[in-house]
Chains A and B, each alone.
Chain A
């Protein structure tokens, strides 16, 4: 039982390049999320997926796209990376409403855009 797995763990991009962050969970959770973490700003929600087949914008969606490929997988794509997207990205998942509201996070992906 790996929990939430995200790849890659580290990535360096040049401005304008594109990339996709992959996330998978094996807890049979309905909801999945992408957060970014910047110093002094906490964790900010980029996009989320309440259930398979649905995605919605969070607090800071500009410059990102997401795909809920199936119940297990939720990817985050940067089409044209900018230095402002240098950050640590966390994928997370949560269970059904009847369970706790706990988010289970992946280990994080550190992205640097030059």
Chain B
């Protein structure tokens, strides 16, 4: 089955700097890669996703890149702000029927003022 590895487990950056979180997946059939943000004590919420027919996707300060050959994808946050502090999870799955997402272990991002 699918296995997703996520790094780093913790990341601390200065406000205004960029943050990058990386994930690798094992199943070459996976074609959908979402990123979820979980604030302290809250539920995970989707912030951006990418499908395997696209190499990069951007939404304001957030971007995701996908390298299918190497089976890795990354989340990039630019101009970080205090409200970006949270735990971020990457995930992978094959679209169709139920979305059986396999999640990475999570990255705790702290933005220092």
Which residues of A come within 8 Å of B, CB atoms?
31, 33, 35, 40-45, 48-50, 56, 58-59, 90, 94, 97, 100-103, 105-108
Contacts and interface: CB of A to CB of B under 8 A. Distances in A.
B34 A102 contact: yes
Given A42-B89, A50-B97, 18 more contacts: A31-B99, A40-B105, A40-B106, A42-B104, A42-B105, A43-B44, A45-B100, A45-B102, A48-B100, A50-B98, A56-B98, A58-B100, A90-B43, A94-B98, A94-B99, A101-B93, A103-B46, A105-B43
Contacts of A44: 103
A90 B95 CA distance: 21
A48 B98 CA distance: 8
Interface in B61-99: 89, 93, 95-99
A33 to B, nearest CB: 7
Decide if the interface of chain B is mainly helix, strand, loop or mixed.
loop
B23 to A, nearest CB: 11
B26 interface: no
A61 B89 CA distance: 21
A3 B44 CA distance: 13
A25 to B, nearest CB: 13
Contacts of B32: 101
A71 B45 CA distance: 22
B110 interface: no
Contacts of B43: 90, 105-108
A102 B1 CA distance: 21
A45 B101 contact: yes
B62 to A, nearest CB: 15
B31 to A, nearest CB: 10
A97 B89 CA distance: 22
Contacts of A101: 32, 34, 49, 93, 95, 99, 101
Contacts of A108: 43
Contacts of B101: 43, 45, 101, 103
A43 B100 contact: no
A41 B34 contact: no
Contact of A31 (B49, B97, B106): B97
